C-alpha cells in the first residue's frame, strides 16, 4: 500500500557551492513514511541544528532534497503535474510556529480562512463558505462571533494558532504538519491548541506530524516519536517507550534535561562525555563527542538503527546485539496507535 507521504533516503546539504568547500549536512539519509490508512500523531523531536525545520520544509515541498526524494502517493514532489500538485496542497497542510507571522497584518483573521476556500474552490456559494468556516472554528473551540472580524493583534496567541488549525481543517487534509505550533504560546493556553490537534485526529482521521523541541508536549500528544540529532535519527518508536525508558544516550540526556514542575525532582546530573576531545572520523556516530558511553567504534562508524523493541529502534552501538532495522520493520516500529501501548 503506497504511503501517503514518504521521505526516502533524503539528504539535504547547505552551502558547499563552487567556491565554498564547507557545507553543512542538515539532514542525513532520512527515511520515514506516513501511511494513509490509520491516523496517527508522529512527533519529531530535535534541538536546533537537528534538522527538524529542514525536514518540515522538505516534506512540504518548499525545498528540494540534495539526495533522495520526497514522495506523495508514490510520486516525487518535484515531478507532480498541476492537478497532482493541487491534490498535494489539499492533502498536506501546515501549521507554522509563529502565530503572529502567519497573518498578513493588513487583513482581518477571516482572510486566512476565506483564501483557501476561494482559491481551491471548496465552496459553491457564499453561504456554504461561511458555514464551512463557522464549523471549523467551532471544532477547535472558538466562537465565530468572537473571532471573525478581528485583526490578528486582537486575539491571543492560542486563539490565533487555533484559527490556523481551523484553516487546516477547512482544507480537509489527510496530513497536517505542525511545526512547533505551541512553542510561542503561553503554557496555560497550550493545552487548548494541543487538545484541538488531538481532537481532529480522533474525529476526522487526520494524521499529524508534530515537530517540536519540547519532549513533554511531544509525549502528551504523540503516538510515535522520532528523535533527531544533528540530521540523523537517534531513536524512534512508540512515545511511551522512547520517553519513559529511553535507550539512546542522547534521548536520555534530553529527557533528563526537562525541567520538571516539581522541586523534588531535580535535573538528573549530566554524565560527562567519555571521549570528549577525540576527532571524529568521516563516518561516526554524531553524538560520540558528547556521549558518556562512547566507545572507540563510535568514532569510526555510523551506527544503524537497531530494533531494540518491537516498537522502538535506537541508533547506538550499545545495542548492536539487536537486529538492524529494515524497511518493513520501520513501518512496524512507528505503527502505534494511541490505544495500543507497545510492550
Partner 1 sequence: MIANHLPTIVSDPRSGRVNEPRPDVLRLEHLSVYYDTPRGPVHAVEDVTFSLHAQERFGLVGESGSGKSSMALTIMRLIKPPARVVAGTIWLETTNLLTLSETQMKHLRLAEIALVAQGSMNSLNPVMRIRNQMALGLTDHGIKLTKSEMDEKVTSLLAQVGLPPQVASMYPHELSGGMKQRVVIAIAISLSPKVIIADEPTSALDVVVQRQIMETFKNVQAEIGASVILVGHDMGLMAQFVQRLGVMYAGRLLEISPVREIFSQPRHPYTQMLISSLPSTETKGHFTGIPGLPPSLLNVPSGCVFHPRCPLAADRCRAEVPQLREVQPGTWVSCHFAS
Partner 2 sequence: MATTVEGGARRARYADQGNWRDGLDSVLQYCRRNPSLVIGLVIFLLLFLSSTIGAFFVDLENARPISVKPLQPPSWEMPFGSDKQGRDLLAVMVAGTPLTLRIGLIAGIMGVSFGGLIAFVSAYYGGWLDALLRGIVDVGLTIPGLMVLIVVAMMVPGGLSVEQMALVVASLAWLYPARTIRAQVLTIRERSYIQVARLSGMPGRMIILKEILPNLLPYLAASLVGSISAAVLASIGLEVLGLGPMDAPTIGMTLFWINYNAAVINGWWWWWLPPIVVIGLLFISLFLMSVGLDEIANPRIRRSI
Q: Which residues bind partner 1 (CB under 8 A)?
A: 47-48, 156-159, 186-192, 194-195, 198, 213-217, 219-220, 240, 243-244, 253-255, 257-264, 266-267, 270, 338
d(CA 92, CA 36): 12
Tell me the window of 103-111, 155-163, 221-229, 268-276 that interacts with partner 2 (CB under 8 A): 103-111
Tell me the window of 46-54, 141-149, 193-201, 309-317 that interacts with partner 2 (CB under 8 A): 141-149
Residue 257 binding partner per list partner 2, partner 1, none, with a CB distance cut-off of 5 to 8 Å that depends on partner kind: partner 1
Among 6, 91, 134, 289, binds partner 2 (CB under 8 A): 134
Using alpha carbons only, give the angle 215, 170, 126 rounded to the nearest 5 degrees.
Answer: 155
Question: What DSSP assignment string belongs to 129-165?
Answer: HHHHHHHHHHHTT--HHHHTT--GGGS-HHHHHHHHH
List Cα–Cα distances, 282 to 93, 115, 188, 301, 302, in angstroms.
37, 49, 46, 8, 9
Tell me the window of 10-18, 137-145, 309-317, 330-338 that interacts with partner 2 (CB under 8 A): 137-145
d(CA 138, CA 144): 7
Interface residues for partner 2 in 49-68 (CB under 8 A)?
60, 62
d(CA 71, CA 6): 5
Check the CA dihedral 187-338-169-225 and report its sign: positive
Q: Does 78 bind partner 2 (CB under 8 A)?
A: no
Give whichever of 120 and 340 is closer to partner 2, judged by the CB atom.
Answer: 120
Q: Does 98 bind partner 2 (CB under 8 A)?
A: yes
Strand partners, 75: 72
Q: For 145-166, give one letter per residue: b (16+ CB within 10 A) or e.
A: eebbeeebeebebbbbbbbbbb
Q: Does 84 bind partner 2 (CB under 8 A)?
A: no
Q: Does 213 bind partner 2 (CB under 8 A)?
A: no
SS3 at position 294:
coil
Residue 195 binding partner per list partner 1, partner 2, none, with a CB distance cut-off of 5 to 8 Å that depends on partner kind: partner 1
Residue 89 binding partner per list partner 1, partner 2, none, with a CB distance cut-off of 5 to 8 Å that depends on partner kind: partner 2
Give whichever of 19 and 119 is closer to partner 2, judged by the CB atom.
Answer: 119
SS3 at position 229:
strand
Q: Does 33 bind partner 2 (CB under 8 A)?
A: no
The residue written with cell numbers 472554528 in the block is 137
**Nearest distance from C-beta of residue 8 to partner 1, angstroms:** 29
Among 80, 89, 123, 274, binds partner 2 (CB under 8 A): 89
* Interaction site with partner 2 (CB under 8 A): 60, 62, 86, 89, 93-94, 96, 98, 101-108, 110, 112, 115-116, 119-120, 127, 130-131, 134-135, 138, 144-145, 148-150, 167, 171
Amino acid at each position: 500500500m503506497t504511503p501517503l507521504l514518504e521521505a526516502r533516503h533524503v539528504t539535504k546539504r547547505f552551502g558547499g557551492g563552487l567556491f565554498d568547500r564547507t557545507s553543512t549536512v542538515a539532514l542525513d539519509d532520512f527515511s520515514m513514511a506516513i501511511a494513509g490508512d490509520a491516523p496517527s500523531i508522529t512527533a519529531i523531536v530535535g534541538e536546533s541544528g537537528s534538522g527538524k525545520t529542514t525536514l518540515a520544509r522538505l516534506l512540504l515541498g518548499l525545498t528540494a532534497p540534495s539526495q533522495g526524494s520526497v514522495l506523495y502517493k508514490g510520486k516525487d514532489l518535484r515531478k507532480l503535474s498541476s492537478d497532482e500538485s493541487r491534490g498535494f496542497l489539499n492533502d498536506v497542510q501546515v501549521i507554522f510556529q509563529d502565530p503572529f507571522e502567519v497573518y498578513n497584518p493588513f487583513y482581518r483573521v477571516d482572510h486566512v480562512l476565506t483564501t483557501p476556500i476561494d482559491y481551491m474552490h471548496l465552496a459553491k456559494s457564499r453561504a456554504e463558505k461561511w458555514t464551512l468556516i463557522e464549523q471549523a472554528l467551532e471544532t477547535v473551540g472558538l466562537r465565530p462571533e468572537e473571532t471573525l472580524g478581528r485583526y490578528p493583534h486582537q486575539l491571543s496567541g492560542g486563539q490565533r494558532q487555533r484559527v490556523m488549525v481551523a484553516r487546516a481543517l477547512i482544507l480537509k487534509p489527510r496530513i497536517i504538519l505542525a511545526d512547533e505550533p505551541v512553542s510561542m504560546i503561553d503554557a496555560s493556553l497550550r493545552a487548548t491548541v494541543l487538545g484541538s490537534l488531538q481532537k481532529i485526529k480522533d474525529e476526522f482521521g487526520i494524521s499529524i506530524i508534530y515537530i517540536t523541541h519540547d519532549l513533554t508536549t511531544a509525549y502528551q500528544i504523540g503516538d510515535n516519536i522520532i528523535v533527531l540529532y544533528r540530521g540523523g535519527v537517534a531513536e524512534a518508536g512508540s512515545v511511551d517507550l522512547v520517553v519513559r525508558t529511553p535507550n539512546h544516550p542522547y534521548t536520555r540526556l534530553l529527557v533528563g534535561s526537562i525541567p520538571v514542575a516539581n522541586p523534588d525532582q531535580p535535573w538528573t546530573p549530566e554524565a560527562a562525555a567519555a571521549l570528549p576531545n577525540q576527532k571524529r572520523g568521516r563516518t561516526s556516530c554524531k553524538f560520540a563527542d558528547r556521549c558518556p558511553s562512547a566507545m572507540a567504534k563510535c568514532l569510526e562508524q555510523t551506527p544503524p538503527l537497531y530494533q531494540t523493541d518491537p516498537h522502538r529502534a535506537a541508533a547506538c552501538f550499545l545495542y548492536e546485539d539487536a537486529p538492524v532495522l529494515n524497511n518493513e520493520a520501520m513501518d512496524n516500529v512507528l505503527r502505534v496507535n494511541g490505544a495500543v501501548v507497545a510492550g
